């Protein structure tokens, strides 16, 4: 419950005015409910003259219990009205009063529920936005440890569970305690002795609800974990359909999916069984309580030992039975909240994740790139205690020069360039731009200096125009077209039916590999970065596409500082300096001809590609 209250304080605070309105309307609804029920007593007691008692008006300042005085005078007013206008008119007015009270009561009840809608919908939206914002802020290292399907499950299934289990319970958590307090207050007012006898059964009901709730939360955590496994497998299947079909593994993947969904079915079945147990358990306990009170109060009245008369006892039983419904709803909320909090725990694993890439307290501005990028004794490992991926890297990249990085797979090339925009921070040494340690620079300024073109171009399910203009606010059509022309993309774009307004599908699947890469280059051209990072930008292309992309890259690299990772050595022969890496170290460096003359590692790589 402590975690639940902390969550409410965090997320419900912006909606306090709606919360206050719901409380006031629920109080009004409870009062009107009690007043409408109270009309039963004069109908039975006076209209049908059960006890034949004659009421006399008691002055309001008389020495008498206020409750007894209030009831006496109400009965006196009704009896006087009946004497003056007749029983039929009195009955009609009492029925009309009951209808009016019911209209106001139901209107208050509707209003109390309606003002909760902005809280319920807003709370879910706020949680989703907080998760999404956190995902955007987390370093890339976090996602190498987490499955995408699991993250998707948390922002979809877990948030949905919070919505159905917790936000749906908010209304009940506000309304039902108010009703219970007012109803029990009325019961105590009518007969505190019978109410005390009634309360003896409450601890038993609370203990049963608590026991079921604890079991429900534990099993909900397990069920949500299995939901994450399901989403992960769906995500893997969608991403690997080509391989699945090529290796005829459809039945194997089907068996895997059947196993995880079968386990989830069994676990969620047990969760739902406990959840639906809430209503029958509370119904059973409530009926037992009603039956005991009916027996206890009835025997007192039959034996003329009751402090209240029969009509008032009937009113008492009506109120007592009415209190059962809010208790049942509260019990459903008590079962639903642990289920939702189990999902909230999984959500908090993302929200509470630490971010090692933090901005300095007083970050240095980097408005432009003037001189050089310098690595000084840089060492890096992805996990504490893991293998050192980079070891003692010393490197200077002057402004306007093209530096190529080559080496076998796993040599640390991509890791090296990922340190420059601070996707990761080095464990040892530092990286400086114009003499400023990048850890002291403003992150947005640092990344604004750089443009990236990767081996696998990352495009979005949007139009060609929006993909090219992705990194520039309010880019004009002329600017986008100019960037596309430099990237050798304008011709194929205009061949599309909708031109620049053509939607390219998920990750650009409606385009060829070379077309996707040229869109990616156009995006980098439009941002006009002084530093360009090319990560094997032509490695996966055919010869014709490679030629078109290479021409676009050469235009993009003109007058820029370029860091290019390359497997095909033919693409970087004209680099100002080639850095050769092996097992996280720089083993050779120089121009193409110089490295060939060394007859070392680079010469070996060159000869292997020449075969």
Q: What is the mean pLDDT of each run of 10 residues along the chain (611 residues)?
A: 73 82 89 80 62 70 70 76 78 81 86 84 84 82 73 78 74 83 84 75 60 56 66 71 71 81 77 66 69 75 66 78 75 70 80 82 89 93 84 92 88 90 90 92 89 81 89 86 86 89 85 85 85 76 67 76 83 87 91 89 82 56
| Structure tokens belonging to residue 6 | 């902390």
| Structure tokens belonging to residue 280 | 């029958």
Q: Which residues contact 96 (CB under 8 A, 6 or more apart)?
A: none
Half-sphere exposure of 226 (CA within 13 A, CB side): 20
Cβ neighbours, 10 Å, residue 272: 14
The radius of gyration of the chain's CA atoms, rounded to the nearest angstrom, is: 37
- Virtual CA dihedral for 97, 100, 102, 103, nearest 10 degrees? 180
> Which of 71, 110, 45, 41 is closest to 319 using CA atoms?
41
Q: Identify the pLDDT of residue 439.
A: 92
In what helix (H) or strand (E) does residue 153 lie, and over which residues does it extend? helix 148-153
Chain mean position to CA 161 = 10
Q: Identify the pLDDT of residue 137.
A: 82
Are the C-beta atoms of 104 and 32 separated by less than 8 Å? yes
> Which of 447, 472, 446 is closest to 366 using CA atoms?
446
Class of domain 372-610: alpha beta
Q: Cα dist. 188→184, 200, 289, 324 in Å?
A: 6, 14, 16, 16
Domain with CATH 1.20.1560.10 in the chain: 2-351
- Virtual CA dihedral for 204, 210, 216, 222, nearest 10 degrees? -140
Q: What is the DSSP letter of 599?
A: T
Q: Identify the pLDDT of residue 286.
A: 65
Largest CA distance in the chain: 124
| Structure tokens belonging to residue 596 | 């060939």
Q: Which residues contact 610 (CB under 8 A, 6 or more apart)?
A: none
Domain with CATH 3.40.50.300 in the chain: 372-610
Euclidean distance between CA atoms 554 and 562, whole angstroms: 10
> Which of 156, 146, 39 is closest to 95 using CA atoms?
39
Q: Identify the pLDDT of residue 242.
A: 63
Q: Identify the pLDDT of residue 390.
A: 93
> Which of 27, 42, 109 is closest to 81 using CA atoms?
42
Domain 2-351 CATH superfamily: ABC transporter type 1, transmembrane domain (1.20.1560.10)
Q: Identify the pLDDT of residue 223.
A: 64
| Structure tokens belonging to residue 355 | 């971010």
């Amino acid at each position: 419950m402590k975690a639940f209250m902390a969550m409410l304080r965090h997320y419900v605070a912006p909606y306090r005015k709606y919360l206050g309105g719901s409380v006031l309307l629920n109080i009004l609804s409870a009062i009107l409910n009690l007043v409408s029920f109270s009309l039963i007593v004069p109908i039975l007691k006076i209209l049908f003259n059960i006890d034949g008692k004659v009421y006399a008006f008691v002055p309001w300042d008389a020495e008498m219990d206020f409750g007894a005085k209030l009831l006496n005078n109400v009965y006196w007013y009704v009896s006087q009205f009946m004497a003056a206008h007749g029983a039929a008119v009195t009955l009609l007015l009492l029925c009309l009063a009951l209808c009016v009270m019911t209209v106001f009561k139901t209107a208050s009840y509707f209003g109390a529920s309606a003002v909760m809608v902005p809280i319920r919908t807003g709370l879910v939206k706020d949680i989703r936005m907080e998760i999404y914002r956190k995902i955007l802020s987390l370093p890339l290292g976090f996602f190498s440890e987490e499955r995408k399907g699991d993250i998707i499950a948390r922002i979809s299934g877990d948030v949905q569970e919070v919505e159905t289990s917790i936000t749906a319970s908010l209304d009940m958590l506000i309304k039902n305690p108010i009703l219970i307090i007012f109803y029990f207050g009325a019961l105590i007012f009518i007969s505190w002795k019978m109410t005390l006898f009634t309360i003896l059964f409450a601890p038993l009901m609370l203990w049963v609800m608590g026991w079921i709730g604890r079991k429900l939360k534990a099993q909900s955590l397990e069920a949500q974990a299995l939901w994450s496994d399901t989403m992960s497998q769906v995500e893997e299947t969608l991403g690997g359909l080509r391989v699945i079909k090529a290796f005829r593994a459809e039945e194997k993947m089907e068996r895997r999916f059947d196993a995880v969904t079968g386990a989830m079915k069994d676990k969620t079945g047990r969760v739902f069984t406990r959840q639906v147990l809430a209503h029958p358990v509370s119904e059973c306990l409530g009926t037992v309580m009603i039956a005991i009170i009916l027996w206890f109060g009835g025997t007192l009245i039959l034996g003329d030992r009751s402090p209240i008369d029969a009509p008032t006892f009937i009113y008492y039983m009506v109120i007592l039975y009415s209190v059962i419904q809010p208790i049942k709803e509260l019990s459903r909320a008590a079962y639903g909240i642990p289920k939702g909090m189990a999902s909230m725990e999984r959500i908090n694993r993302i929200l509470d994740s630490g971010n090692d890439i933090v901005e300095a307290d007083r970050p240095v501005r980097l408005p432009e790139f003037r001189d050089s990028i310098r690595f000084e004794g840089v060492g890096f490992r992805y996990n504490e205690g893991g293998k050192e991926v980079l070891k003692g890297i010393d490197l200077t990249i002057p402004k306007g020069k093209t530096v190529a990085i080559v080496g076998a797979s796993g040599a640390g090339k991509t890791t090296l360039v990922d340190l420059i925009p601070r996707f990761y921070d080095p464990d040892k040494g530092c990286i400086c731009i114009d003499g400023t340690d990048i850890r002291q620079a403003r992150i947005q300024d640092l990344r604004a200096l750089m443009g990236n073109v990767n081996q696998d171009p990352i495009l979005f399910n949007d139009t060609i125009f929006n993909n090219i203009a992705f990194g520039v606010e309010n880019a004009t059509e002329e600017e986008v077209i100019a960037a596309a022309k430099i990237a050798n993309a304008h011709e194929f774009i205009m061949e599309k039916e909708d031109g620049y307004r053509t939607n390219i599908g998920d990750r650009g699947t409606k385009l060829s590999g070379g077309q996707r890469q040229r869109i990616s280059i156009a995006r980098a051209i439009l941002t006009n970065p002084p530093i360009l990072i090319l990560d094997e930008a032509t490695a996966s292309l055919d010869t014709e596409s490679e030629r078109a992309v290479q021409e676009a890259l050469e235009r993009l690299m003109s007058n820029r500082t370029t860091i290019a990772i390359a497997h095909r050595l033919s693409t970087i022969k004209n680099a100002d300096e080639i850095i050769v890496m092996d097992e996280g170290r720089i083993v050779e460096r120089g121009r193409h001809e110089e490295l060939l003359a060394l007859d070392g590692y680079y010469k070996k790589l060159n000869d292997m590609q020449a075969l």
